[in-house]
Amino acid sequence: MTKDFQTILNETGEVGYVEAVSQSVFYVSGLPKAKLNELVVTEEGQVGIISSLSAELVEVVLLTGTDLRNKARVARTGQSLTVPVSSAFLGRIINPLGIPLDTKGPIRADFAYPIEAKAPDINMRERVKDPLETGVAAVDLQVPIGKGQRELVLGDQKTGKTTFCLQAIAGQARAGSICIYASIGKKRSDLEFVEKSLTDLGVIANTVIMAATASDPATLVYLTPFSAMSLAEYFRDQGRNVLVVLDDLTTHARFYRETSLLSRRTPGRQSYPGDIFHLHARIVERAGNIRLKDGRNVSITLLPVAETLEADLAGYIQTNLMAMTDGHIFFDINEMKKGRHPAVSFEFSVSRVGNQTKTPLEREISDFVMEKLSAYRKAEEVSRFGVELTTQTLQALDTGEKLLAIFNQDSQIVIPKELQLIYMGIFLAGLWRDKNPKQVQVEKMRLLGEFFQGRFGNLPSLARKASSIKALVKEVNTFFRGS
């Protein structure tokens, strides 16, 4: 707050007193004109937001400060909660209130956006038709995401969910999109990992990191996804496409449950408050492919992250999020144990909207890969019995292992879509027929270096324009066998 307590008190003319304190929730008497979601400030500088009203008391959740004193004076501000927004936040780490958490100095905000904004109406929304390329071959070729889509990313701890999101940020930041990474209730060491990864990938300047750590008040953690969406809406209104990662909403739900139980609200399933679905839906619905007043289409693409326990997809929060998003990418702990990176499960992942962004070539490739991987899974099951394998089964195993080698990808590597198609063209042309999966990995890295050195000439553009697998194989054969 820029004004001091006495100035605020003189403007509103009402003074209340703290009657009770329960951790981050306190109750105030003497504010008859108080409104829901209004900011209040104590004489010692703590700031809170009104969460509920009763006949005698006002319930306030603490946003900043600690050590509330009983009978401390409280003043209304007459203002609802807003978050400062500015292009100056790019390349910075901030908290949900726009306060810098790094050591690069203060930030001057241009405007303030409401932290709770109405989702765009249906007549403002446009069909999702442009692909959002993540730079992760396993996703771009099998579970594609469109600009303006809401795609859930879920899986157990340490299965690579955050790593994938950071790769997606790198791919989009290099393409000119604005990226916002919201760290919700994570450890400071996790935040440092995110900052280092984005710096190493060279995209920190086009990214805003918004964070409320586990040591912050639960209310600040609760506000993080709302603030991230408000900042995204600011950039959207400037005509920029935005990618938002909310990491993660299961932690967000736990912190909201904490504040709700402290407020003595009636608990529901698994002690979560009854409005948890509505709460997350309000966040998710603010994303989409939106038509601005000037006729331009601008998107906010949302990647909410959810954590599962022992690969259980039927959890309460997880199924809620599945119901309100346009598909999900499941990171399977069993795939991770096999050394797959990323550990995406093709069987349990789905993209209900992103598939309409595929080209005819990409549809053919996707169908081919699913067919071969399905045959590989069946052959893998047969091989466990220790019986003598037929030539067909051995061929299915070899094909599947090479395909998975193509999809294996280091966490610091982002592969352009053109090169992903070239990889598949080389495989389909049989140029890797005599190589084992490890040799395929080596070849992939060699070709990656050559691609960025510009040694492929017109092949990348020809590969992207190919109308079918047959056309792609022809272009690849012409280049590699003819050179």
| 233 and 137 part of one domain | yes
Tell me, what's the pLDDT at 87?
93
pLDDT given for residue 195 in this prediction: 93
| Section 151-158 average pLDDT | 94
pLDDT digits (tens, 9 = 90+) for 158-175: 999 999 999 999 999 999
> The domain that contains 447 carries what CATH number?
1.20.150.20
The pLDDT of residue 306 is above 70: yes
Give a three-class secondary structure readout of the chain: CCCCHHHHHHHHCCEEEEEEEECCEEEEECCCCCCCCEEEEECCCCEEEEEEECCCEEEEEEEECCCCCCCCEEEEEEEECEEEECHHHCCCEECCCCCECCCCCCCCCCEEEECCCCCCCHHHECCCCCEECCCCHHHHCCCCEECCCECEEEECCCCCHHHHHHHHHHHHHHCCCEEEEEEECCCHHHHHHHHHHHHHCCCHHHEEEEEECCCCCHHHHHHHHHHHHHHHHHHHHCCCCEEEEEECHHHHHHHHHHHHHHCCCCECHHHCECCHHHHHHHHHCCCEEEECCCCCEEEEEEEEEEECCCCCCCCHHHHHHHHHCCEEEEECHHHHHCCCCCCECCCCCEECCHHHHCCHHHHHHHHHHHHHHHHHHHHHHHHCCCCCCCHHHHHHHHHHHHHHHHHCCCCCCCCCHHHHHHHHHHHHCCCCCCCCHHHHHHHHHHHHHHHHCCCCCCHHHHHHHCCCHHHHHHHHHHHHCCC
Mean pLDDT of 275-285: 94
pLDDT reading at 14 higher than 90: no
- Residues 36, 120: one domain? no
The verdict on pTM exceeding 0.95 is: no
Query: Pick from 357, 381, 408: which residue ends a domain?
Result: 357
Per-residue model confidence (pLDDT) at position 329: 96
Spell 6-29 as b/e; 16+ CB within 10 A means b: eebbeebebebebbebeebbbbbe
- The domain total for the chain is 3
Using a pLDDT cut of 90, give the percent of the chain over it. Answer: 64
Is it the case that residue 2 has pLDDT exceeding 70? no
Identified catalytic residue from 69, 127, 352, 433 = 352
Instruction: Look at residue 294 in the predicted model and tell me its pLDDT.
Output: 86
Instruction: Over range 362-376, report the average pLDDT.
Output: 94
Whether residue 108 sits in one domain with residue 39: no
Does 267 lie in the same domain as 174?
yes
Residue 62's domain is classified under what CATH number? 2.40.30.20
What does the pLDDT read at residue 100? 92
Same-domain status, 286 and 210: yes
Residue 483: the pLDDT is: 52
CATH of the domain at 199: 3.40.50.300
Condensed to tens digits (0 to 9), the pLDDT of residues 438-469 reads 999 999 999 999 999 999 999 999 999 999 99
pLDDT of residue 68: 82
Last residue of a domain, one of 60, 80, 100: 80
Q: Are residues 216 and 297 in the same domain?
A: yes
Q: Supply the pLDDT for residue 382.
A: 87
Q: Look at 317 and 265; give whichever has higher pLDDT.
A: 317
pLDDT digit string (tens) for 204-216? 999 999 999 888 8
Domain finish residue from 19, 54, 80 = 80
215 and 144 in a common domain = yes
State whether 231 and 377 are in the same domain. no
CA distance 460 to 212: 42
Same domain, yes or no: 181 and 277: yes
Given a cut of 80, is residue 134 above it in pLDDT? Answer: yes
Residues 178 and 42 both lie in one domain:
no
Would you state the pLDDT for residue 428? 94
- The 10s digit of each residue's pLDDT in 394-439 is 999 999 999 999 999 998 899 999 999 999 999 999 999 999 999 9
Residue 24 binned pLDDT confidence (cut-offs 50, 70, 90): confident
Determine whether 352 is an active site residue. Answer: yes
Question: Is pLDDT of 377 > 60?
Answer: yes
Mean pLDDT of the chain: 91
Q: Which domain holds residue 220?
A: 83-357
Higher pLDDT among residues 8 and 112, named by residue: 112
Same domain, 217 and 141: yes
* 252, 283: one domain: yes
